[in-house]
Amino acid sequence: GIDSSMVAKMLKDEGWDIIGMTMRIVSPELLEDRKLVTRSTSTDIESAYQVCRKLDIPHFVIDLASQFEKKIIEPFCNNYLQGLTPNPCIECNKEIKFGLLLKNAEMLGAGFIATGHYCRVERGEERDTFRVLKGIDKSKDQSYVFWKLDQSQLSRIKTPLGNFTKENIRKMSHAFLPILGSRDESQDICFISDRNYQDFLGKRVADIKEGKILDTGGAQIGTHRGYPYYTIGQRRGLGIGHTSPLYVIKIIPEENIIVAGEKKDLFRQTAQLTDINFISGSPPSARFHAGVKIRYNSGERPAEIRITSSGEAVVTFKDKCSSITPGQSAVFYDGEKLLGGGIIKV
């Protein structure tokens, strides 16, 4: 795409000795159904090859389809079966892009891996430490998806686009390779066509059954077509006539039940988090204040974070938040600086 291609050009212009790498993350079997799967096609690989050819650098295709299936796609489906709404990009960055791909890059003699993310990975204030800052283009900032990375990974990452706006990069790309300017931006879930995760789940997971939709008092008010197809805060697709709009406020997978309520029922003051990680390796303190994002495209909300004796965290927001969704990442910031984050629990 535009961003990774421009990174390659920038680094080549700076005098770095670089190679191009493309991940093949989807198996041929999945690619047969083009309605479900979109990425990692021969077209994508050919496009990357043409960019590398123009830059006169080697291009390698790394087949990570089986690992991607095990580490990303299977957990993605299993999370929905647990009533969660996962963000596979978080785990992909940790396990695949800055995990397995980085290892492959090292085997090819590379010392760093550079990506087109709009954030800034820089040396920290203390010796041999690294920090993550928001990109200067706040409308495209992608620091959120870096919260699970560790110091070892950050020490090998370069993100030059963090100091540019998306518009700057798009204009620069026209001069370099005009065809890049017409390419679509990445989708939310890179391996699913048209963001249609419901069809993807339906094909991958057997025996998703209809079940009851209850109101907050426990009375049945409708029938859902399978709880994995719903997420907290969802309004469309409930098929319930009511005097006021209804939203999914709770998913109970073990009973195949969805609870629907009014908009006011979506608001909560606290969130419990598990799988905690801090960029520096440890929290600022056992109790600290930060700006917290509860999903990729949400704004930051002031909150107090308390680390529990079990190593989990409790987030108490200054004001109640709508649609705090289990399975999503709650990510902590101190101004421009990414502190860390965790996964929202049921």
Catalytic residue numbers, as ranges: 92, 190
Element (DSSP H or E) covering residue 35: none
**Single-letter amino acid code for the residue at 282:** S
CA distance linking residue 315 with residue 294, whole number of Å? 10
Which residue do the tokens 């969130």 mark?
271
- DSSP secondary structure code for residue 324 in this structure: -
Q: Residues 228, 208: contact at Cβ < 8 Å?
A: yes
Q: How many CA atoms lie within 13 A of 15 on its CB side?
A: 0
**Hey, what long-range contacts does 282-286 have (CB within 8 A, 24 or more apart)?**
283/307, 283/339, 283/340, 284/334, 284/339
CA distance linking residue 41 with residue 87, whole number of Å? 22
Element (DSSP H or E) covering residue 52: helix 42-55
Opening angle at CA 301, ends 262 and 155, nearest 5? 130
Residue 286 has φ and ψ, to the nearest 5°, of -70, -20
Please list, residue by residue across 96-117, b when 16 or more beta carbons sit within 10 angstroms of its beta carbon and e when fewer do.
bbbbbbbebbeeeebeebbbbb
